[in-house]
A = this chain, B = another copy of it.
């Protein structure tokens, strides 16, 4: 699955940078315009735009322009591929514990 491997690679490379992570953390609260995203960082706008491009290429954010204002949004399901990869890395012991966990939820009294 080369496509899957390329995608997970792009997502993890994008998230390995603390500035890009801070942008994602901000966008998880709500969409934001570029100037708003730039404000907390002492960074030239072109550098921020480059970070946004990496996030967009990794499928983590989308952006659209209204007049001169560009709004950036965290893509719904942005982290699905990372959740999938993490799920695949569960050890045999963790899979067993997970199955036990599911059993406990299903047999829990409904009014608790």
Residues in A lying within 8 Å of B, measured CB to CB: 5, 8-9, 12-13, 15-16, 18, 21, 24-25, 28-30, 74, 76, 78-79, 82-83, 86, 88-94, 105-108, 110
From known contacts A12-B16, A86-B79, infer whether A28 and B91 are also in contact, taking CB-CB under 8 Å. Answer: yes
Q: A interface, by DSSP: helix, strand, loop or mixed?
A: helix
Contacts of A107 in B (CB 8 A): 110
A86–B94 Cα gap in the complex (Å)?
19
Contact of A89 among B13, B28, B110 (CB under 8 A): B28
Contact of A93 among B9, B76, B105 (CB under 8 A): B76
From known contacts A79-B89, A86-B82, A93-B76, infer whether A12 and B5 are also in contact, taking CB-CB under 8 Å. Answer: no
